[in-house]
Structure 1
Amino acid sequence: MRFKTLLLTQPSIPHIDHIDHVDHRRRAIVRGAASVPLLATAMFVRPALADPTVTHASRRLLGTRVDMVVQGDRHGVAQAAIAVAFAEMMRLEQLMSRYRPDSQVSALHRAAGRHPVRVAPELMTVLQAAAAVSARSRGAFDITVGAFAGWRFGADGNRLPDAAELARERALVDYRQVMLDARRGEAMLARAGMRLDLGGIAKLPILDAGMQVLRRHGLANAMVNGGGDVLAMGKLQGRDWRIGVRDPLAPARLLGVLQVSDAVVASSGDYERCFVAGGRRYHHVLDPATGLPSAGPRGVTLVAPTVAAVNGLGAALMVAGQSAWDRLAGRLAGVDGLVVGDRGRWISPGMAQRLRRA
């Protein structure tokens, strides 16, 4: 799944790539910032590295690198909270992954066109959110793009499906054919062969679940960064969190810095998973109407007070374009946006006030 985001009694603690504190933290965070140059956002935590109350951890999750930075007076509590937060995010990823045969999403695929499947409340919430965004975006966002299964982007090789393959698969793409019965806790794909891709709608809720674990363990100041989607709670050393926004046209460069507290920064871009074939560039954000990469903006960054306010909107705007801003996000309280395309940038008034020079 590409999305594509405390010891209780004796839980199973996941392997964490590193939890760094005091002396070791500097090396880990600086190395991490350099090793993920294509993320849509970047962390600025170097001023806090000498603070013994600041703990950093990272691991590979949700098809990307997930970082947590926590400030708390009790280091042991922060470490335990982080471990359980990662365990909860892993549980949800396993539930919603389209690549795991034991996931509930895979169960929906196997039952497509045959019968409904009982799903966990967390998955039902994500499916309901997807239905709402799909309706509001008039199908620009559609989780049934998973039917376009012939595309390959990344380390395991690239593949461009042919026109006949895309034509066959387009018949299976229709968000209105995802049937939900919240009362029974059941979902069903109406047609055999339908497949889901929750990459644009599940990552933020999963990251938020990790943040809620930290909150339940009494931590009030934390940041979770998952592949460019950032959740910030409280402050770092009494100051707002500083989040760098990368330029989709030149990802090694920052467009500016956002200072946020108790906010979500959600970024979508076409530059992390892409390849060139026949002189043409192909990326992973697919237009549900064609099965081909979207021809809209190159990147979208949104800031909002909650995950629910922006979940799925970045992917929808990548397909629908900036002209759909008013319909999709412009009337939502507290939502600000930056849309970058080959022909220039568009920035909402609120984002213009938020964004500062790097």
Structure 2
Amino acid sequence: MKKTFVVLICFVFGHQTFSQSIYKRTLKLMGSRFDITVVAEEKVVAEGFINDAIVEIQRIERLISSWDPSSQTSMINRSAGIKPVQVDPELLSLIQRAIGISKLTDGAFDISYASMDKIWKFDGSMKNIPEADVIKASVSKVGFQNIIIDKEKSTVYLLNKGMKIGFGALGKGYAADQAKELLINKGVQSGIINASGDMNTWGKQPDGTDWKVAITNPLNKENAFALLPVVNKAVVTSGNYEKYVTFNGKRYSHIIDPRTGYPAQGIVSATVFAPKAELADALATSLFVMGKEVGVDRVNQLQGIECIIIDENGDVFTSENIKIEN
């Protein structure tokens, strides 16, 4: 399905005319902006729930951060090519799921991308494309096949020295999922965790309507083309319309194919709807690398997953069950 407009997403809130109200707090967590929204009858109760969500997100950051030298992720990276590292079942499961997404996307998604040499610069300092041999060498240590899992011993081993894993492409989504689950278990019937664009929703607005996302042109954010309901699921958008370089008339995005070392081309925005923000986060990035035809076809084979892809010409391609009327 093809249309011609550009997508940017934001949530649209209903009017506060019922006994329950929407309470929201914005703060910096995991190095990014988080917006935590809950529906509650009293502000003091809502603030307590928001505090609980913050504590949970901070716990996850300590577990998966590659910047914290004391984290289990950092220990895995330091032990690459040396020895396996025993980790918590939670981290082991997250890494196993990440490997599963790598297999699903034929390596377009790969948490060992952290091993890549940062040879592409998107700050205006690049004057030429890196040499082919330099690009090839930049991904020599990347490869999810070399992440060795021992379920019985709960260990992770990176086969080659210099390998690293990182959760930049799904960590915030996972944090959003876990914060949502925690709040549901505490009795919060409705809310949104927005982890810097990785959004997960549950329940309904105080007026009984579904949470909705606005489909909007990022160059004209006041003009929404459509509203789409988001019912107990996550929505994530990846974009490169602000971070790219152009050489010889070709546009190169900041999203690098971990298999080749070359930037993805052809797509400027990818939005994914999925049951979990973790999966939506990983797939949104993967679609850039897979390309619109392969990406849409792959999404159409996945139950409960939908996508909206915008190419560099401004044309929009959607998965089978996305209905947009403009």
Please report the TM-score for the alignment, with normalisation by the length of structure 2.
Answer: 0.85
Q: How does 1:35-50 map to 2 (within 5 A)?
A: 40-45=8-13, 47-48=15-16
What residue in structure 1 maps to residue 142 of structure 2?
Answer: 173
Structure 1 contact 57–82 (Cα < 8 Å) conserved: yes
SS at match of 2:322: helix
SS at match of 2:321: helix
Please give the root-mean-square deviation of Cα atoms over the aligned residues, in Å: 2.9
Structure 1 residue runs without a partner (length 5+): 1-38
Match of 1:257 among 208, 211, 227: 227
Match of 2:196 among 198, 220, 227: 227
Distance 1:54 1:106 in 2: 38
Amino acid at match of 2:274: A
Using the TM superposition, give the Cα deviation of residue 87 of structure 1 relative to its aligned residue in structure 2, in angstroms. 1.2
Amino acid at match of 2:143: D
Amino acid at match of 1:166: I
What residue in structure 2 maps to residue 191 of structure 1?
Answer: 160
CA distance 1:200–1:159, shift in 2 (3 Å): farther
What residue in structure 2 maps to residue 30 of structure 1?
Answer: none
Aligned length: 315
Q: How does 1:46-61 map to 2 (within 5 A)?
A: 47-48=15-16, 53-61=21-29
Distance 1:166 1:207 in 2: 34
Using the TM superposition, give the Cα deviation of residue 188 of structure 1 relative to its aligned residue in structure 2, in angstroms. 1.1
* Post-superposition CA distance 1:248-275 (Å, at most 9, x none): 7x48465532212211112222235446
What residue in structure 2 maps to residue 10 of structure 1?
Answer: none
What residue in structure 2 maps to residue 121 of structure 1?
Answer: 89
Structure 1 contact 152–159 (Cα < 8 Å) conserved: no
Distance 1:152 1:80 in 2: 44
Match of 2:31 among 51, 63, 69: 63
What residue in structure 2 maps to residue 108 of structure 1?
Answer: 76
Structure 1 contact 257–356 (Cα < 8 Å) conserved: no
What residue in structure 1 maps to residue 3 of structure 2?
Answer: none
SS at match of 1:128: helix
What residue in structure 2 maps to residue 328 of structure 1?
Answer: 298
Match of 2:317 among 346, 349, 355: 346
CA distance 1:261–1:297, shift in 2 (3 Å): same
Structure 1 contact 153–273 (Cα < 8 Å) conserved: no
Provide the identity percentage. 26
Using the TM superposition, give the Cα deviation of residue 345 of structure 1 relative to its aligned residue in structure 2, in angstroms. 1.4
Distance 2:17 2:250 in 1: 43
Structure 2 residue runs without a partner (length 5+): 1-6
What residue in structure 1 maps to residue 106 of structure 2?
Answer: 138
SS at match of 1:48: coil
Structure 1 contact 245–254 (Cα < 8 Å) conserved: yes
Distance 2:173 2:291 in 1: 21
| Greater RCO, 1 or 2 (C-alpha within 8 Å, sep 6+) | 2
Distance 1:236 1:251 in 2: 26
Distance 2:101 2:58 in 1: 25
Match of 1:268 among 232, 235, 238: 238
CA distance 1:131–1:215, shift in 2 (3 Å): same
Amino acid at match of 2:118: G
Q: Which one is further off, 135-144 or 306-315?
A: 306-315
Please report the TM-score for the alignment, with normalisation by the length of structure 1.
Answer: 0.78
Structure 1 contact 121–185 (Cα < 8 Å) conserved: yes
